[in-house]
Structure 1
């Protein structure tokens, strides 16, 4: 069962998922600190390059299955035009209403 994005607990994470699913690059980048970082399956990646490749140019979409840690850890079905669909885990570090780091990978 998928949790409606509007029901996600953390407002910054909710805005991130909303922007990602709407393919709204400007809104999503506006939620990140200037020095935000990320990992994919445990490897550090260039955040903006990764978002362009894995989200925006390939129409990424998250269907959230569960949340933990006050809404900052999500398990979601993630799909895009490059890789198809997979079960993923997302962990967000939020500071002052902005995401300073997220870690994602297969769940």
Structure 2
């Protein structure tokens, strides 16, 4: 009978996870090169697990002798909003979060 209960528990957990295929989590940049993000102060993710949108990549242009920063890259201490994609293996960084 305990095997049946265990199987029912596993099936219910699977159903709950299938009903919520993504989850929003907060992270903090701990290291920039290579990129490392700590999620909810519990575990660290490196670039292999992160999907970084173009809007968060550094972009600079040089006009004459002046460099203009269009988009800054990540800095240590940046707070981030991430989406854990279904399966929990990859995280999409949505944006920086203003804490204050």
TM-score calculated relative to the size of structure 2: 0.33
Indicate the structure (1 or 2) with the bigger Cα radius of gyration. 2
Higher helix share: 1
